[in-house]
Amino acid sequence: MAKSQKVTLKGTEHTPMPGARAIGPTSPHQLIEISVILKHRQPLNLSQHRGQTLSHSDFAKTYGADPAHVDQIKQFARENNLVVLTRGDEVLRRTVTLAGTAADMEKAFNVELVGFEHPDGTYRGHTGPIQIPEAYSSIIQGVFGLDNRPVAHPHIRMRNTNRTFGSRASTTTYTPLQVASLYDFPRDADGEGQTIGIIELGGGYRPADLQQYFQNLNLRNPAVRAVLVDQANNRPSTPNSADAEVMLDIEVAGSVANGASMAVYFTSNTARGFQDALSTAVHDQIHAPSVLSISWGNPEATWTQQSMECFDQVAQEAALLGITIIAASGDQGSTDGMAGNQNHVDFPASCPHVLGVGGTRLVSANNTIQTETVWNDGPTGGASGGGYSNVFQRPEWQASVVTKPSRGVPDTSGNADPDTGYTILVDGEHAVIGGTSAVAPLWAALVARCNQVLNTRLGYLNPALYAMNQNSGFRDITQGNNGAFPATPGWDPCTGLGTPAGNRLLQALSTATGKTVSANVGKLAASAQTVETRAGRPHSAA
């Protein structure tokens, strides 16, 4: 293809991270890998396939990248002294991986790469937008990897054992199965035949810890596989690292859906890593996850338009393939931790093709819920994220409950207060952990159970959840607030539609999808009951 004038790739504008300081240009010899995302062969159309689940083969033929466009990117690489790293899934994932020196990358994309020092660590970045030859602008959707700043935080909260006099103390600790029992999750299932995918932007797990944890709960050790994306690693270190997030996710999902397999997609905490991990998981035909759990995120204002648009496109691909994506709504209340008095919501929970989950404080007695309120431990203790998107418009399925023209977050919720937290084993140490991070794998396990019982893939759940009678599937949370927003009857921007009433939700989903309970599931009822009995009751933890 002939060379042409360069044009700006929309939505790629970058500014330095707040508090970052430039420390000098990137070495021209530094080797860099990037991901070039191609446009779909034709625009995505979820309504055209409503009620259908596409195979990966059909998806590739209908919506994947045009093979001719892949060849054009290879030509672009040759023109700019870049190397194509062939993965074999370029058409399906619409992603071509290129490698080259910083000097060649700067020339190819008309950027100046600079090193920055930041409290979260050093990173390579650029200011302003990425530019590409105009001749390629009709086929390129995004370019990721030139800037490798950290983009997300794990939404996890450790229990504070050093409370001041007069502060609210906690007396309850739960195992994940106890929370599932309180929420009346379907007992005739354990997720067998399902794979739960978990996206992790850091940390790692130790198989010995997992074996010990599930053994302590009298559960079998579920199959857990690490899938390494963009040269990432399963690299456990210490309990106060991202390991706590990884272990919380696996142990919650693996307890509640003990018959399911787990595929943990490790990647770098960068825009490229997040994008590649999601597309890898969605198009993984080996592990074939039916539900994905994401407990990492950041305020919408910290993401580029390119990142959010490309992520949302892959989330729509997941919907077409029958995959449910669930994301934590954040742990810093209605401001999402941003400076000033403005309200913000967390991405990717704000993505309209993702099920965003908020947090509650769950208090029980005699295996029955006594009270459940919005989780809000104040500015330092954490609170359920929620509010209204500044990026995404209100989806059609929220029109009956959300009065503002913006996407409302979250959609649902679950126990997240660390003072009514989950017992977890991390790097050999026991801990009590909360945060909306815990709610994403809890809901993922619920979806896995429902998928098994209904012998289907529920996939894109949001429209069905909002179409049903709220009392059919949820416990409405009407007390508390997350800062700017109070809980109210019906949907609210603290806890969404409420917390799950598992069996009622299953019946409502059965009606909505026309699927009946699978005949081969009933035999699990007795064993599931035994497992929950062995797991015990909530116990005191002063």
Structure tokens belonging to residue 60: 């590739």
Structure tokens belonging to residue 476: 């409405």
Task: Let me know: does 142 contact 402? Beta carbons within 8 Å.
Answer: no
Interaxial angle between packed helices 271-282 and 305-320, expressed in degrees from 0 to 180 and rounded to the nearest 10: 10
Task: Let me know: does 329 contact 353? Beta carbons within 8 Å.
Answer: no
- Per DSSP, helices labelled H in 382-435 are none
CA distance 241 to 180: 27
Q: Catalytic site residues?
A: 245, 249, 437
Whether the bond between 348 and the residue before it is cis, its omega within 30 degrees of 0, is yes
Task: Let me know: does 356 contact 350? Beta carbons within 8 Å.
Answer: yes
CA distance 228 to 280: 10
> What letters, b where the CB count within 10 A reaches 16 and e where it falls short, cover 328-350?
bbbbbbbbbbbeeeebbbbbbbb
Rounded to an integer, what is the distance from CA 159 to the centroid of its chain? 22
CA distance 174 to 362: 10
Strands 324-328 and 291-294: parallel
SS3 151: coil
Q: Where are the beta strands (DSSP E) in 247-367?
A: 261-266, 291-294, 296-299, 324-328, 346-347, 355-365
Rounded to an integer, what is the distance from CA 62 to the centroid of its chain? 26
Q: Of 46, 209, 16, give the one whose Cα is nearest residue 114.
A: 16
